[in-house]
């Protein structure tokens, strides 16, 4: 049963509690919503791609209406474009280029409501926004765009922000056998007598500029099926390099079901003409939700035996982003981000948190609620670990940042934001929560929103005033509560007296939180659930309990974004681990390892949980990791015994946990996993752990693994490099240096740089190589190299970094270089 109980409230911080140190907000300039001079209605670009010269030439025509009276001049964003001509109406328009803007003077003044158009003829060798990769070995040349954060001005004269939407037409001419994939409907393909072919694509519903796309390469089109939507259907396809068709078919096979699920869950049918997914070489990020033609890194191409990762990240028991998560995430953006778009980057959580929330919904739908419970637990702990290590918190909607990349911070914008939505969903209930989603989407379709629009939707759709929630979590509050919880059973009253204190620091952006919480009392003959309203710094509630409880659970289901320090005995914790629901068992396993690590019963209990195949695989992963936290010989024996478990997910967690139990038996088990386990993520995790142990013979053993090929990506080589990094051995520099070459994947190159930096930070060749890589083609490698260059603290690199910050049109690259130069100037070595 559930009942609302009155609670005693203390409105000042408790004097007797241990107050946790405070957090801090990110620094940066205030970014308001950008002002506009015109409303672009249609953007039509007729472009020719020269793949050998890495050049784009053509004409972009904008149809617009003025937003201001007497408009005679306006500007578009344009970086490193060679403008040949600008035409307006029947004549030429004068123009100038300055400060990465194209300033256009119209032939006559226009007023709101009067249509205008300009045609801009130009050419460019793009430095940002569009990325060319030349033919290399058996790999055909490819070009693809990535425009999030304001990058498209490097190949298009465009309004380079999110708060304008327009229809899009791309006419792309490429040499045969290249193919051009873009937004919307392919209305014509024409073979030309000069050996080129022209593709004409039309996106009929308006989108913001960052969702425009053109991908050019040698692609095979793979049908993925149809998604049934009411009486109709949409077609789905993958575009993938020849030879990878079967991997694309396998990886994207569930997308039609995802389209149907989201359409039903949001009560809004998929709003676009079709859905394509494009596998791209060395893509700038994992994936990008460009409307109707999502781009994916080729690391998302999987076979049935491959790891679940969207990209190899074998330091985690289960990846934060599985490839299935990412596929669902990018599709969900076609409602949250593409259909309804944030008004500015300050509100990017309305895109990214909602898409993350949505992919967790798919996980629960496809794999069961227990999988979703475990995913929420992992996301909560990843967020809390981030805050503990950095001290950084912020509201979900936040206007201060240094570069766009700051607002895409994983643990806050993606993970915490998704948990904020799950928490609100739990408070309100599924029916009213998703009815609000339906109204929010319909009311704001093909428009821009901020958090006030979402708050209004809850008010309009279900009559809920959620100011308290939005103040604490979305627009003002930046952190999370830290609860100290205790209870006592009072037999004469047959009640449990519960005491909850909030011990986070009292800061303007993070003070006391008001929240409802579910408290479960487990007794000999059953359990009861009670809702308690938390208000103020200290809350006391009396809950009915006829007999002494076997255990009490604070926050049943783990819905709150919080830290909990629950004063309970080891016996009660063991009882919860063995008898409670999955959410409570996960928390109990962690508490047992952290509060009672040296108690023999702790290891025995965790070992039983790990070894019992009837338990959820996520609980078994948690038990394995907690055995690693507890440490000791008995924990090591339990982990070694589980290293042959049939479930690869359990073995992966075991491989990681063994790295914290440094003994000979554990090292032998890790070597065996590396040499014999067919699951490459398990082998990769074992390699990392073996390096972490720094045991005898680890260097030579891991070096031998560098010669092994992998089915998926370069899993074995990556694990070996990450393991070797722990050794900090200067003799490994030649091995690390060789993997910084561009023929290797970006993950491998970044791992090699980590290893080189750990082994020989004073090596002058490292600084030279980092300067070279700061101008690499690969954006991920560039960002990584710039940050590492700053960490060397060499005064000689300040000018290079300052010049790069000034010259590079990519705002994230520029800010990263500026920050690296500042770091050196603050702590120069020489």
Q: pLDDT tens for residues 34-50?
A: 999 999 999 999 999 99
The number of residues in the chain equals 830
Structure-token pair, residue 801: 């970094």
What pairing do the DSSP bridges indicate for beta strands 101-110 and 71-77? antiparallel
CB neighbour burial string for 705-732, b if at least 16 within 10 angstroms, e if fewer: beebebebbbbbbbbbbbbbbbbebeeb
Could you report the per-residue pLDDT of 745-777, keeping only the tens digit for each?
999 999 999 999 999 999 999 999 999 999 999
- Percent of the chain's residues with pLDDT above 90: 93
Q: Which structure tokens are listed for 396?
A: 């979900």
Instruction: Kindly tell me the burial class for residue 676, based on how many C-beta atoms sit within 10 Å of its own C-beta (0-12, 13-18, 19 or more).
Output: exposed
Q: Cα(725)–Cα(742) distance, rounded to whole angstroms?
A: 20
Question: 455-481, pLDDT tens digit by residue?
Answer: 999 999 999 999 999 999 999 988 999
pLDDT at 830: 63
Q: Which of 58-62, 294-298, 309-313, 424-428 has the lowest mean pLDDT?
A: 309-313
Question: 549-580 pLDDT, tens per residue?
Answer: 999 999 999 999 999 999 999 999 999 999 99
Helix intervals (H) in 694-830: 698-705, 715-725, 733-738, 746-759, 764-773, 779-791, 798-807, 811-826
Q: Which of 3-12, 85-94, 152-161 has the lowest mean pLDDT?
A: 3-12
Instruction: Calculate mean pLDDT across residues 58-76.
Output: 98
588-619 pLDDT per residue, tens: 999 999 999 989 999 999 999 999 999 999 99
- The confidence score (pLDDT) of residue 337 equals 98
What is the rounded distance in angstroms from the CA atom of residue 367 to the CA atom of residue 735?
A: 42
Using the predicted structure, report yes or no on whether residue 164 has a pLDDT greater than 90: yes
pLDDT at 9 over 70: no
Average pLDDT over residues 231-241: 96
Residue 237 pLDDT > 60? yes
Give residue 18's pLDDT band: very low, low, confident or very high (50, 70, 90).
very low
Mean pLDDT of 512-533: 95
Residue 346 burial by Cβ neighbours in a 10 Å radius (0-12, 13-18, 19+): buried
Q: How far apart are CA 786 and CA 721, in angstroms?
A: 20
Could you give all domains of the chain from N- to C-terminal order, each with its CATH number? 335-475 (1.10.390.10)
Helix, strand, or coil (residue 394): coil
Nearest CA to 54 out of 106, 116, 130, 152 is that of 130
Per-residue pLDDT tens over the stretch 680-736: 999 999 999 999 999 899 999 999 999 999 999 999 999 999 999 999 999 999 999
* pLDDT for res 153: 98
Return the pLDDT at 21.
56
Q: C-alpha angle 343/405/725, rounded to 5°?
A: 155
Token representation of residue 775? 């101008």
pLDDT at residue number 5 = 36
Q: Is the pLDDT of residue 445 over 60?
A: yes
Percent of the chain residues past pLDDT 70, beyond the cut: 97
pTM recorded for the entire structure: 0.95
What three-state secondary structure class fits 206?
A: strand
Question: What is 314-338 written as a DSSP string?
Answer: TTSSS-SSBHHHHHHHHHHTTTBTT
Q: In which band, very low, low, confident or very high, does the pLDDT at 231 lie, cut at 50, 70 and 90?
A: confident
């Amino acid at each position: 049963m559930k009942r609302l109980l009155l609670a005693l409230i203390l409105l000042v911080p408790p004097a007797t509690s241990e107050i946790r140190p405070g957090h801090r907000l990110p620094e940066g300039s205030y970014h308001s919503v950008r002002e506009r001079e015109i409303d672009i209605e249609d953007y039509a670009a007729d472009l020719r791609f020269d793949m050998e010269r890495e050049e784009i030439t053509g004409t972009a025509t904008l149809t617009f209406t003025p937003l201001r009276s007497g408009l005679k001049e306006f500007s578009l964003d344009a970086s490193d474009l060679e403008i040949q001509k600008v035409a307006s109406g029947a004549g030429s328009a004068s123009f100038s280029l300055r400060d990465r803007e194209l300033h256009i003077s119209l032939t006559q003044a226009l007023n709101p409501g009067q249509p205008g158009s300009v045609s801009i003829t130009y050419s460019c060798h793009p430095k940002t926004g569009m990325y060319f990769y030349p033919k290399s070995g058996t790999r055909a040349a490819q070009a693809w765009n990535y425009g999030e954060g304001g990058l498209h001005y490097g190949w298009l004269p465009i309004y380079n922000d999110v708060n304008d939407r327009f229809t899009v037409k791309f006419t792309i001419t490429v040499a045969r056998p290249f193919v051009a994939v873009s937004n919307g409907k392919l209305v014509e393909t024409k073979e030309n007598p000069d050996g080129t072919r022209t593709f004409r694509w039309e996106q009929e519903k308006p989108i913001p500029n960052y969702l425009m796309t053109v991908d050019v390469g040698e692609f095979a089109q793979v049908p993925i099926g149809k998604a049934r939507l009411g009486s109709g259907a949409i077609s789905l396809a993958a575009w993938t390099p020849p030879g990878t068709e079967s991997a694309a078919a396998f990886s994207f096979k569930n997308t039609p079901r995802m389209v149907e699920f989201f359409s039903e869950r949001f009560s809004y049918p998929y709003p676009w003409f079709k859905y394509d997914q494009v596998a791209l070489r060395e893509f700038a990020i994992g994936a990008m939700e460009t409307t109707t033609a999502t781009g994916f890194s080729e690391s998302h191409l999987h076979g049935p035996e491959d790891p679940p990762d969207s990209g190899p990240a074998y330091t985690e028991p289960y990846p934060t982003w599985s490839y299935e998560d990412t596929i669902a995430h990018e599709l969900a953006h076609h409602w949250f981000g593409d259909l309804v778009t944030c008004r500015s980057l300050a509100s990017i959580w309305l895109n990214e948190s909602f898409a993350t929330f949505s992919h967790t919904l798919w996980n629960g739908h496809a794999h069961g609620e227990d999988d979703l419970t475990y995913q929420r637990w992992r996301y909560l702990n990843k967020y809390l670990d981030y805050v503990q290590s950095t001290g950084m918190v912020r509201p979900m909607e936040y206007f201060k940042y240094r570069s766009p990349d700051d607002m895409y911070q994983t643990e806050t914008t993606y993970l915490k934001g998704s948990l904020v939505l799950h928490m609100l969903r739990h408070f309100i209930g599924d029916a009213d929560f998703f009815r609000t989603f339906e109204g929010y989407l319909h009311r704001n379709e093909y428009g821009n929103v901020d958090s006030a629009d979402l708050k209004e939707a809850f008010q309009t759709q279900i009559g809920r005033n959620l100011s308290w929630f939005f103040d604490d979590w979305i627009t003002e509050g930046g952190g999370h509560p830290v609860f100290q919880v205790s209870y006592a059973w009072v037999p004469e009253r047959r009640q449990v007296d519960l005491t909850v204190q909030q011990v986070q620091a009292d800061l303007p952006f993070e003070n006391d939180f008001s929240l409802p919480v579910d408290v479960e009392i487990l007794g000999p003959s059953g359990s009861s659930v009670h809702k308690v309203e938390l208000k103020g710094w200290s809350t006391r509630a009396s809950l009915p309990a006829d007999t002494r409880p076997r255990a009490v659970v604070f926050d049943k289901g783990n819905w709150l974004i919080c830290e909990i320090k629950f004063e309970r005995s080891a016996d009660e914790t063991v009882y919860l681990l063995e008898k409670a629901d999955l959410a409570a068992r996960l928390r109990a396993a962690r508490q047992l390892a952290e509060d009672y690590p040296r108690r023999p019963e702790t290891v025995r209990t965790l070992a039983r949980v790990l070894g019992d195949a009837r338990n959820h695989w996520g609980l078994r992963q948690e038990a394995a990791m907690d055995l690693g936290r507890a440490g000791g010989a008995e924990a090591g024996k339990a982990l070694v015994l589980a290293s042959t478990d049939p479930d690869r997910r359990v073995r992966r967690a075991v491989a990681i946990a063994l790295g914290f139990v440094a003994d000979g038996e554990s090292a032998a088990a890790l070597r065996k996993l590396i040499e014999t386990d067919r699951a490459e993520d398990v082998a990769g995790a074992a390699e990392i752990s073996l390096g972490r142990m720094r045991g005898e013979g680890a260097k030579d053993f891991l070096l031998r693994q560098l010669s092994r090929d992998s089915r998926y990506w370069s899993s074995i080589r990556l694990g070996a490099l990450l393991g070797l990094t722990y050794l900090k051995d200067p003799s490994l520099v030649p091995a690390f240096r060789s993997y910084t070459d561009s023929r290797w994947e970006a993950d491998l190159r970044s791992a090699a740089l980590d290893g080189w930096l750990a082994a020989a930070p004073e090596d002058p060749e490292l600084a030279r190589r980092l300067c070279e890589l700061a101008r690499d083609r690969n954006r991920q490698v560039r960002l990584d190299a710039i940050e590492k260059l700053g960490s060397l603290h060499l005064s000689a690199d300040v000018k290079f970094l300052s010049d790069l910050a000034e010259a590079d049109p990519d705002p994230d690259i520029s800010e990263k270089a500026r920050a690296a130069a500042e770091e050196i100037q603050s702590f120069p070595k020489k």
